[in-house]
């Protein structure tokens, strides 16, 4: 079959493929859209089977059930964990990718081995360590156990190895220090991978439920996930769960992550693709 015969068929198939892609996207989004739809109803109309538009559920979640404080705590914890973890992972990846030193292969193997350890196994050691240090019920207790991320170090190391060493050597000949090479050459060229890993770390920490539940008992340090679980368990509907209120609070928990994803979506796809190829 000649190429000229194939092109018209491809043009005819494009609208069909676009329709299928749109249908698949709506299918994946349908639970979120349905949750947002229900969050805009009153509890009475929800249980009566009708519809009455209101934003009161969002107002109550923020003012009456302290979700503004939970949102602030989640932003502080997730933001600091992301910044510290990606800094540590970038430094480790630069060392593993560019330097040969005694025990380097063993340390890198140990870093990769941490990917095989379920996170729940480290709960008790982390709890006991922080308890001895007096860091439970504090932001430090929420942040410190999460700043070491073996997957990010491994991913960035593979990415950095794909950057030509000639660029480093040229900078060293001009008198640059290792940190200057890292900051001026490696980090700019690794931006897609760093941004994609940053979003991955942020989302992982944002959705973390178990460790904040174990590490803090003060309400003013609760994160959104803890607040959402408490809102469900307190059953504010007095006999019936106020699902529109719970879903309004759930919608608030996904908005920052959604905004972050939209901001770095282009770098996320590029970083994951290039990191997988290198």
pTM, two decimal places: 0.83
Q: Which letter does DSSP use for residue 163 in this model?
A: S
- 150-196 confidence digits (pLDDT tens): 999 999 998 999 899 999 999 999 889 999 999 999 999 998 889 88
Distance (Å, whole) CA 198 – CA 236 = 36
Task: Tell how far CA 175 is from the center of its chain.
Answer: 38
> In the block, which residue shows the tokens 């770390």?
201
Q: Does a structural domain hold residue 32?
A: no
Collect all residues with Cβ–Cβ distance below 8 Å to 238 and sequence separation of at least 6. Answer: none
Half-sphere exposure of residue 106: CA atoms within 13 angstroms, side-chain side: 3
Q: Does a structural domain hold residue 25?
A: no
- 64-81 confidence digits (pLDDT tens): 888 889 999 999 999 999
- 202-211 confidence digits (pLDDT tens): 989 999 999 9
Q: Does a structural domain hold residue 186?
A: yes
Q: Is 9 helix (H, G, I), strand (E, B) or coil?
A: helix
With bands split at pLDDT 50, 70 and 90, how would you rate the model's confidence at 272? low
Average the pLDDT over 92-107 and give the result.
Answer: 91
User: Which tokens hold the place of 48?
Assistant: 């009566």
C-alpha torsion angle, residues 157, 163, 166, 172 (rounded to 10): -50
- Which tops the pLDDT comparison, 262 or 31? 31
Distances (CA, A) of 26 to 17, 21, 33, 40: 14, 9, 9, 20
Of 139-143, 251-255, 258-262, 269-273, where does mean pLDDT reach its minimum? 269-273
Identify whether the C-beta of residue 92 lies closer than 8 Å to the C-beta of residue 197. no
Helix pair angle (150-161, 243-277), 10° resolution: 30
Distance (Å, whole) CA 189 – CA 208 = 30
Q: Does a structural domain hold residue 80?
A: yes
Half-sphere exposure of residue 35: CA atoms within 13 angstroms, side-chain side: 17
Predicted pLDDT at 201: 93
Residue-wise over 178-209: b if at least 16 C-beta within 10 A, else e? eeebbeebbeebbebbbbbbbbbbbbbbbebe
Predicted pLDDT at 134: 92
Distance (Å, whole) CA 198 – CA 268 = 9
Average the pLDDT over 138-145 and give the result.
Answer: 94
Q: Does a structural domain hold residue 29?
A: no
Q: Does a structural domain hold residue 198?
A: yes
Predicted pLDDT at 3: 57
Q: Does a structural domain hold residue 6?
A: no
Predicted pLDDT at 240: 75
Please count the structural domains in the chain.
1
Q: Does a structural domain hold residue 164?
A: yes
> What is the span of the domain harbouring residue 80?
60-276
CATH number of the domain to which 100 belongs: 1.10.3720.10
What's the chain's average pLDDT?
86
Q: Is 53 helix (H, G, I), strand (E, B) or coil?
A: strand
């Amino acid at each position: 079959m000649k190429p000229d015969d194939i092109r018209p068929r491809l043009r005819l198939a494009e609208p069909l493929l676009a329709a299928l892609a749109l249908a698949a996207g709506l299918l994946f989004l349908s639970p979120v859209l349905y949750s947002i739809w229900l969050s805009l109803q009153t509890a009475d109309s929800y249980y009566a089977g009708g519809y009455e538009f209101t934003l009161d559920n969002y107002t109550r979640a923020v003012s009456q059930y302290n979700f503004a404080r939970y949102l602030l705590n989640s932003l502080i914890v997730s933001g600091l964990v992301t910044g510290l973890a990606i800094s540590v992972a970038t430094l480790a990846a630069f060392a593993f990718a560019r330097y040969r030193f005694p025990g380097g292969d063993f340390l890198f193997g140990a870093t990769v081995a941490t990917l095989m350890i379920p996170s729940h196994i480290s709960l008790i050691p982390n709890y006991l360590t922080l308890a001895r240090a007096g860091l439970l019920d504090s932001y430090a207790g929420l942040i410190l156990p999460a700043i070491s991320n073996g997957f990010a170090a491994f991913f960035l190391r593979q990415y950095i190895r794909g950057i030509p060493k000639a660029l480093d050597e040229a900078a060293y000949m001009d008198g640059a220090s290792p940190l200057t090479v890292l900051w001026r050459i490696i980090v700019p060229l690794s931006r897609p991978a760093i941004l994609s890993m940053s979003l991955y770390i942020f989302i992982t920490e944002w959705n973390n439920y178990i460790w904040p539940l174990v590490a803090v008992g003060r309400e003013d340090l609760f994160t959104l996930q803890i607040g959402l679980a408490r809102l469900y368990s307190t059953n504010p509907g007095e006999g019936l769960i106020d699902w529109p209120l719970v879903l309004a609070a759930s919608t608030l928990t996904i908005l920052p992550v959604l905004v972050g994803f939209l901001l770095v979506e282009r770098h996320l796809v590029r970083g994951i693709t290039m990191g997988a190829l290198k």
